[in-house]
Amino acid sequence: MGCVGSKQLNDNGSSRKLRKPKPWQYPRPITRAELAKMREEFWDTQPQYGGRKEIWETLRAAAEVTNLAHAQLLLDCADIIVSATDMSVCHDERGTKYELPLYVLREPTNLIRGC
C-alpha cells in the first residue's frame, strides 16, 4: 500500500505544490515559549470541534516538518485535499473542512528570538 498521487488541483486540473505561508505578524511581539503554548493549545483542542483524529494528527505532522516535499507526501498519503497551498484550509475525502491558523504553520516576523 502506498501513495498514488496528489489530491491538490488548480482550477485547470493540474497539481499544485505546497508553499510556505506569507510572512505575518502577531499583534504584539511574542516569545518562542508563548508561540509553542498557543500551538499546543490549538492541536490539543481542535479535534474536539470536528473532523477525524487521524487527519488532525497528519495535519500537525505536516505543519511541523520543515521540508515542504515531506509535508506534501504526508498529506498525499492521507488523501488530504489542500484548498489553500499554504495548508491554511484543507479537506478530507468526506468533505470535512480543517482550518489551520498561521501561528501553527509559520513563525511570526515579530517573534522575540532567544526566549
Domain total of the chain: 1
Q: Give the pLDDT confidence of 77-106 residue by residue, as tens digits.
A: 999 999 999 999 999 999 999 999 999 999
Structural domain boundaries enclosing 101: 30-110
Instruction: Please give the pLDDT value at position 82.
Output: 94
The verdict on residue 14 lying in a domain is: no
Here the cell at position 86 is 499554504
Q: Residue 88: name the closest of 37, 4, 18 by CA.
A: 18
Instruction: Please give the pLDDT value at position 115.
Output: 52
Category of 82 on φ-ψ map: left (φ > 0), alpha (ψ -120 to 50) or beta: beta
The verdict on residue 15 lying in a domain is: no
- Alpha-carbon distance of 8 to 71, in angstroms, equals 13
The verdict on residue 4 lying in a domain is: no
* CATH number of the CATH domain containing 53: 1.20.225.20
Q: Give the pLDDT confidence of 3-59 residue by residue, as tens digits.
A: 444 444 444 333 468 999 999 999 999 999 999 999 999 999 987 889 999 999 999
The verdict on residue 6 lying in a domain is: no
